[in-house]
Amino acid sequence: MKDTLAVLILAFALTPISFAQAASSPPDLSGTWLDTSNAAVKLALTEKGDKIQVREMDGDKVTADYTCALSGEQCETKEDGRPVKVMMYFNGSKLVEIKERGSDVEKRRFSLGQDGKTMQVETIPLSSSGKSSTQSYRKEDSQVAKSTL
């Protein structure tokens, strides 16, 4: 009887820990996201294991396309023909991107809405006195997204 009681107490004691770990896992931001103020601007995010591909489009023009590890390791790419260094990692439920273009450095934080169909992207300049901004995106229907990519 004591053994059963000990097992039950241990199970109840560990239950909140397992729920907390499940709740703190990073969200999957994969999908095509449309800027709510300009539908021509799209972000296509594809998570595969420990990497994420980011593809930014303005109409038919691809303005950025890169794949980085989600470990915070720096990757190098080009945007509009210029070299860019990018780091990406999850901080809790937010995907953080640090982008370095020469001496210009900015941080973006991607936050998935509770409905899973909206996303906020906060842009914070780190190297200049520019203003922070937040952009809203809505997830594009998967059937439409397949035909545009």
**In sequence order, which residues have a C-beta less than 8 Å from that of residue 94 and are 6 or more positions away?**
109, 110, 111
- For the segment 14-56, what is each residue's pLDDT rounded down to a tens digit? 334 333 344 568 899 999 999 999 999 999 999 999 999 999 9
73 and 54 Cβ atoms separated by less than 8 Å? no
* pTM assigned to the model: 0.77
Please state the domain extents for the chain: 26-148
Dist CA 112 CA 119 (whole Å): 4
Homologous superfamily of 26-148 in CATH? Calycin beta-barrel core domain (2.40.128.20)
